[in-house]
Amino acid sequence: MNSTCVVVTTAEGGNPYGCLVTFIVSASIQPRRVVVMTSYENLTHEVIERTGNMAINLIPADKPDWLSHWGYQSGRDIDKFEGVEWHPGENGCPVLAEATGHIEGDVVDTIDGGDHAVRLVGLTTAQLKRPKSATLSMIDALAHGWEEPNVAPPPPR
Ligand SMILES: Cc1cc2nc3c(=O)[nH]c(=O)nc-3n(C[C@H](O)[C@H](O)[C@H](O)COP(=O)(O)O)c2cc1C
């Protein structure tokens, strides 16, 4: 399955948090909603649990280095926002200056998906800054050799 690669961000106590997410899909046109799945292991997941909101930043196709920066390091260990240009969106969540575009939203509902929480997110803002630019997808991520970390391989058949 292909899906868009995004950086999901949130903010708490003036501090920014964010991680790479590829488990994301459209859910509803009216009202506008998407489904975003975050791993229980991630710091960003923990914070979203409390803030109940997020910004979803589209990754430019020419920024494959964002995969490792946002997807292979935890905010528990390093400040992923150091040296990254960003500003608070309308809901206060970090909007990355170099993102192709972004949407913001509030968590409407959450269910337990297994090792990820499945969040229905109602959109409050959408901005496409570079309409003609391609965005990074999961196929691109796999082509660059990046896979979902911390996920045990399936049992042998
Ligand atoms: C290709 C790729 C796809 C990923 N997809 C997701 C995802 O859909 N949901 C998620 O919660 N984490 C996903 N991750 C993992 C997180 O981005 C990663 O664990 C990150 O370091 C968590 O950072 P944090 O602890 O600062 O939140 C993915 C990582 C990679 C490399």
DSSP per-residue string spanning 37-93:
EEETT-HHHHHHHHH-EEEEEEPBTT-THHHHHHHS--TTTS-TTTT--EEE-TTS-
Maximum Cα interatomic distance, the chain, rounded to a whole number of Å: 49
The pLDDT, as a whole number, for residue 130 is 84
Atom of ligand 1 nearest to the CA of 17: 26
Q: How far apart are CA 154 and CA 157, in angstroms?
A: 9
DSSP per-residue codes, 111-140 = EE-SSEEEEEEEEEEEEES-TT--B-BHHH
The residue contributing the CA closest to ligand 1 atom 6 is 21
Atom of ligand 1 nearest to the CA of 75: 26
The pLDDT, as a whole number, for residue 85 is 98
CA angle 71, 139, 78 (to 5 degrees): 10
Domain ranges of the chain: 6-143
Determine the residue of 21, 66, 70, 139 to mutate for testing ligand 1's pocket, defined as the one with the most ligand atoms within 8 A of the Cβ atom.
Answer: 21
Flag residues of the chain having pLDDT under 50. Answer: 151-154
The pLDDT, as a whole number, for residue 151 is 42
The pLDDT, as a whole number, for residue 146 is 66
As its CATH architecture, domain 6-143 has Roll (2.30)
Determine the residue of 9, 10, 17, 20 to mutate for testing ligand 1's pocket, defined as the one with the most ligand atoms within 8 A of the Cβ atom.
Answer: 20
The pLDDT, as a whole number, for residue 142 is 78
The pLDDT, as a whole number, for residue 140 is 78
**Is-cis flag, bond preceding 94, omega within 30?**
no
The pLDDT, as a whole number, for residue 134 is 80
Atom of ligand 1 nearest to the CA of 46: 27
